[in-house]
Structure 1
Amino acid sequence: MSSAVPSRTPSAPAPADSTRRRGLNWRIRFAVLSTVWGFSFLLIKVGTGGYAPFQVTFGRLFFGTAVLAVAMTVRRERLPRGIRTWLHLTVAAFVLNALPFSLFAYSELTIPSTLAGICNATSPLWGMALSMVALSEDRPTRRRVAGLGIGFLGVLTVLGAWQGFSGLDFGGTAMALLASLSYPIGWIYVRRTLAGSSHSNLSLTGAQLLLATVQLAVVTPLFTTLPTSFPLVPLLAVITLGALGTGFALLLQYGLVAEVGPTTAQMVTYFIPVIATAAGVAVLGEQLGWNTPVGALIVLAGAALTQSRPKRPSAATGASALPQAPAEAAAGAARAARAAAQP
């Protein structure tokens, strides 16, 4: 998923200047972001048609990092400092980027891009389940627990549990679900280790993608051979996946968060599987049973419930906002990592 800008010191530059971006209505940018991330699963499918999954992932990270490097240069941002920060970002890069991106690429060798996109929508469900155990400040409510149950009922509907999962590729589906599970694991890790970082969102994300690129640069030659040819369409798909679906999309999301806030900006999460399904059917001609869209809607409904929060007391009621500050600062670092993980 997608969320907000991390908290930072007053001297740190903002990742996006909302006043400069208001020339283009935020709803248009929201639609563009939803479309770009929704088409990512189609691009993965096309890319793996010409290159090995690790090569697709490496290309995606390389071109995504290149876009962020240009943005950091233009905005005169520097990479984070401190060995401890880089060590934590190394773990985050693996769990939030290198691992899930590779798993999705491998999964789409055997499952449709539509199913991969829907599996991605289960991340909020995994996140809610894990946060109840790992985050003491994230207490479950009846509504959120109900959302968890409804969401996983939707997963079973998508997979056709009533017919014994007939025709389902278990290996590919398991990899897509595992990729979705790795995101909240990474978010919780970042929330515990990088909360309250003074580095900007762009700086942290740029360093994280750089480290993930290095990780894939080491792994890819060990498990793949250099292509003897470079098919044009799959190559363009990989470049687009990295430059637009990773680098440009992150910059676009930062601007949305700065202008309309994290709550509205993260709603893009619920449009991704819809667009991914439509793209897979319309462009790739993938088959779609009735249970896939119905199950996807149930998953999204459950995910929306798991993200609901009780209303906080306002200043008018005499409640102080100060006790909430540590939790908000912790959430900020996780939101920065969550943005770099999409989709």
Structure 2
Amino acid sequence: MHIAMEIGLLLLLSLIWGSSFTLIKVAADTVPPLTMTAARVTIAALLLVLFVKIRGLSLPRTGATWAAFFVQGLLQSALPFTLISWGEQHIASGLAGVLNATPPMFVLLIAMTTGYDGKRITMQKIAGVVVGLAGVVITIGFQSLGQANAAAPFAQAAVLGASLCYALAPMWGQRFAGLPAIVTAAGAMSCAAIMMLPAAMVIERPWTLTPTPEAIIAVLVLAVLCTAIAMIIYFRLVQTLGPLGTTSGSYLRAGFAVALGILFLGERFTWSSLIGMTLIVLGVIAVTVPVRWPWARG
């Protein structure tokens, strides 16, 4: 494994997924959550299956593998995409990006409570979780004070729920280590499409919607770049960097989300959000980057 290449791919994935928060915000006014997610995963699934065929590969035929794909599709795409899309109807894209920077802390909390990869738990990582969670509390607490939108706290909780999904997804995804990344991505995305299409058709009746041209373009970019291409990179990184390494790009994703929201959407970033984001970033760094403390070298 060429670590420099993997880190480069992690940076690229962080930029791609950071831009998704801006694109979701653009589409959210005229495209409801289930329809947006269904369009993303369906277009991405078709492209990924086509890529598999072009590469001369084939999808697995065992029921157990497809059952695992369904869980992966739910955790990695169907559920978090929907939660974030709904959440961004009520909060800024930059704030959503900050709150969605927490998967590494969820990974460590899961490890601490279940013993998953427990040998890697250190006091530095535990301190990182405490600092990061404090950042989440500060961000949500101050944002909620005087908030005219009563749904905002629930939207923030929805985005945190998406973060939990993103923490569980790479843990589950390690079971696909024997498959090419593109095959895993195609299988999981196909299952996500099977889940989301009927839900969108029944609940939101997308044929009755009138999305703006900007929203249509945003959904297409979300499907092709932020879903199909991003998932190929993602499943490669799950195999090379592991769950914690893969989720460590989340704080970079938060930075990109905030910057793009300010540049393209005119979003304001308050001091309380800045303090909260700083604590979240410090917490995630403490969880993911080992530090050799001088007093511990002996």
Q: Same fold (TM over 0.5)?
A: yes
- Seen in structure 2, the aligned counterparts of structure 1 residues 188 and 143 have a Cα distance that, compared at 3 Å, is same
Q: How many angstroms does 1:105 deviate by?
A: 0.5
What are structure 1's unaligned runs of at least 5 residues? Answer: 6-17, 312-343
Q: How does 1:83-122 map to 2 (within 5 A)?
A: 83-122=63-102
1:248-297 Cα deviation digits (max 9, x unpaired): 22334567789xx5388765333111110011112111121012123212
Q: 2:130 corresponds to which letter in structure 1?
A: G
**Which residue, 256, 264, 269 being the options, matches 1:283?**
264
Q: Is the 8 A contact 2:100 2:250 kept in 1?
A: no
| Structure 2 residue 265 is the aligned partner of structure 1 residue 273 | no
Which residue does 1:155 correspond to in 2?
136
Q: 1:96 corresponds to which letter in structure 2?
A: Q
- Seen in structure 2, the aligned counterparts of structure 1 residues 198 and 189 have a Cα distance that, compared at 3 Å, is closer
Q: How many angstroms does 1:301 deviate by?
A: 1.4
Q: Is the 8 A contact 2:129 2:284 kept in 1?
A: yes
Q: 1:287 corresponds to which letter in structure 2?
A: R
What are structure 2's unaligned runs of at least 5 residues? Answer: 293-298
Q: Is the 8 A contact 1:67 1:248 kept in 2?
A: no
1:284-313 Cα deviation digits (max 9, x unpaired): 1112101212321211111122224699xx
Paired residue total? 284
Give the % identical residues: 25
DSSP 3-state at the match of 1:271? helix
1:126-150 Cα deviation digits (max 9, x unpaired): 1110122223432421111111101
Q: How does 1:34-183 map to 2 (within 5 A)?
A: 34-139=14-119, 140-161=121-142, 165-167=145-147, 169-183=152-166
TM-score (norm 1): 0.74
Q: Measure the CA separation in 2 of the matches of 1:209 and 1:274.
A: 27
- Seen in structure 2, the aligned counterparts of structure 1 residues 253 and 44 have a Cα distance that, compared at 3 Å, is same
Q: Which of the pair is proportionally richer in helix?
A: 2
Q: How many angstroms does 1:228 deviate by?
A: 4.3
Which residue does 2:232 correspond to in 1?
251
DSSP 3-state at the match of 1:214? helix
**Which residue, 271, 277, 285 being the options, matches 1:296?**
277
DSSP 3-state at the match of 2:118? coil
- Seen in structure 2, the aligned counterparts of structure 1 residues 158 and 80 have a Cα distance that, compared at 3 Å, is same
Q: How many angstroms does 1:39 deviate by?
A: 0.8
Q: How many angstroms does 1:171 deviate by?
A: 1.3
- Seen in structure 2, the aligned counterparts of structure 1 residues 288 and 305 have a Cα distance that, compared at 3 Å, is same
Q: Measure the CA separation in 1 of the matches of 2:210 and 2:100.
A: 31
Q: Measure the CA separation in 1 of the matches of 2:211 and 2:144.
A: 40
Q: How many angstroms does 1:87 deviate by?
A: 1.0
Q: How many angstroms does 1:234 deviate by?
A: 0.2
Q: 1:76 corresponds to which letter in structure 2?
A: G
TM-score (norm 2): 0.84
1:104-162 Cα deviation digits (max 9, x unpaired): 0111111111111111101111111012222343242111111110111111222245x
| Structure 2 residue 191 is the aligned partner of structure 1 residue 208 | no
Q: 2:166 corresponds to which letter in structure 1?
A: Y
Q: Does 108-117 or 302-311 show the bigger shift?
A: 302-311
Q: How many angstroms does 1:81 deviate by?
A: 2.6
